[in-house]
Amino acid sequence: MYDTADRQVRPVTPGATATMYVCGITPYDATHLGHAATYLTFDLVNRIWRDAGHDVHYVQNVTDVDDPLFERADRDGEDWIVLGMRETALFREDMEALRVLPPRDYIGAVESIGEVIELVEKLVASGAAYTVDDPEYPDVYFRADANEQFGYESGYDRETMATFFAERGGDPDRPGKRDPLDALVWRAARPGEPKWPSPFGEGRPGWHIECAAIALNRIGSGFDIQGGGSDLIFPHHEFSSAHAESVTGERRFARHYVHTGMIGLDGEKMSKSRGNLVFVSKLRGEQVDPAAIRLGLLSGHYRQDRAWSDQVLADAQERLTLWRQAAALESAQSAEDTVARLRQHLADDLDTPKALDALDGWARRAVDHGGSDTGAPSLVADAVDALLGVDIAS
C-alpha cells in the first residue's frame, strides 16, 4: 500500500491480528458517495487480510459531538443527539447495503469522553498541552512542536500546513495560543453547547484527540493502517498521531497512513458545503443495485480523485450483468489464473481497475465461448464475493 508518510508503496506486514483505524463519519447528514468510496477502500483491505488468514481488529469512530451537528440540529429544531443517532443508523444501513464488513469496534465521541480526558491529562502533565490564558474560556491546546518528528505524516511545509489548518477546522487566530498551529484538545463550554465535567473545567473534546484516544485504547500504538480521505492528511492525521506519540514516546503512531482520493461530481469535490451530493440512500431508494454502486466506485483507483457520473453507474451495471451471466453458466474456461490475478492486482496497492479488467476478460470469454470447467463459475463468484464484496451468484 502507498504510505502517505513515506511517500511510497511498500508492504503492509501485519501479525496474526491485523489492525486498522479508519476515521468515521460526522453524522449530521446522509452518507454520500465520497464517504462510501472511502469506506469501500478500507473494506477491501479488511477482505484481503481475511483472505490471507489474518484476524482483523478494525476500529472506526463516529464524530457525534461536533459543530456541524449542533448547527444542523439548531436549524431543524432537533436534539443533536437524536440527529446523530439517526444519521449514524442510516450510515450503518447504507454500509450494510454496500456489503461493507462492519468494524469490530464502532465508537462514538459521546462514549469516549472519559478516554479523551485521560489523554488530555497526560498531555498537560508532560507539558505537551497547555491552557490558554482566558478565564472565560480556558481551552486546552496541544503544542505543534511537542514532538520533534511533527510533520512527518503529511510532509507539508509550514506554509502548506497553515493553509490547510485554517481551511480544515483549525483556529490559527485564537488569542493566547503559543503557535497558530497548536491544536485544540479540550474546548471550554460556550453557552448553549453540550459539555462534560473535566479537571480542566466543563467542556468537550477537540477533534484529533478523539481519534487518538479511540485508536490508542483499542489497537495501541504501531497499528498497521490509519485510514481516511486525503482531506484528513493535515491537520487531522498529523495531530492525532502527534497526540498519541506524545504520550507513548514512540515516533510513529501508525505503520501505514493510507489516504483515498476525493470523489467529485460535475468537476468539484463532493461535499456538504458545496451541496453537490449523491446520497447512497437516495440511489437505494431509486432501486439502484448496491452492487453496481460498489463496482462503480471501485472502477477507479482509490488514490485518484475521480468523478461520479451516470455513465460510471451505467458502466458498472453493464459489468455486473456480464459477470452475473458468466457466473450463472453451467461451465466455463478454468478460472484459477483469473482468481490469482485478482489477488495479485488487489495486493498491488488495491489496483481495482486491473482487477476488474481481469474479471471482465474471464467473463466475456466465458459468455462468448464457454468452457468445460464446471467449477469455474462458482470459483469466480466466490472470489468476487469474498474479495470485492460483490454478490454475482445466481
Asked if 181 touches Zn ion (CB under 5 A), the answer is no
Per CB under 5 A, which region of 34-42, 170-178, 210-218, 352-360 contacts Zn ion?
A: 210-218
CA 246 – CA 258 distance, rounded (Å): 21
46 binds, among ligand 5CA, Zn ion, none (CB under 5 to 8 A by kind): none
Produce one character per residue of 76-86: b if its CB has 16 or more CB atoms within 10 Å, e if not: eeeebeebbbe
CB 320 within 8 A of CB 392: yes
Region 72-101 residues binding Zn ion, contact defined as CB under 5 A: none
**What single-letter DSSP state applies at residue 262?**
P
108 binds, among ligand 5CA, Zn ion, none (CB under 5 to 8 A by kind): none
Q: Report, in Å, the least distance between residue 73 CB and Zn ion.
A: 21
226 binds, among ligand 5CA, Zn ion, none (CB under 5 to 8 A by kind): none
377 binds, among ligand 5CA, Zn ion, none (CB under 5 to 8 A by kind): none
Among 12, 22, 23, 98, which residue sits at the site for Zn ion (rule: CB under 5 A)? 23
Among 123, 211, 295, 358, which residue sits at the site for Zn ion (rule: CB under 5 A)? 211
CB-count exposure of residue 167 (10 Å: 0-12, 13-18, 19+):
exposed
What's the grid cell of residue 185? 484538545
Per CB under 5 A, which region of 20-28, 138-146, 161-169, 379-387 contacts Zn ion?
A: 20-28
The strands making up 183-188's β-sheet, listed across from edge to edge, are: 129-131, 140-142, 183-188, 203-205
229 binds, among Zn ion, ligand 5CA, none (CB under 5 to 8 A by kind): ligand 5CA
- Beta carbons within 8 Å of 340's beta carbon, 6+ residues apart: none
Which of 294, 318, 296, 312 minimizes the C-alpha distance to 391? 294
Per CB under 5 A, which region of 22-30, 69-77, 141-149, 338-346 contacts Zn ion?
A: 22-30
Site residues (CB under 6 A) for ligand 5CA? 23-26, 34-35, 37-38, 61, 63, 211, 228-229, 231-232, 260, 262-263, 269-271
4 binds, among ligand 5CA, Zn ion, none (CB under 5 to 8 A by kind): none
How big is the CA angle at 235 (ends 233 and 240), to the nearest 5 degrees? 90
Which residues would be at the binding site for Zn ion (CB under 5 A)? 23, 211
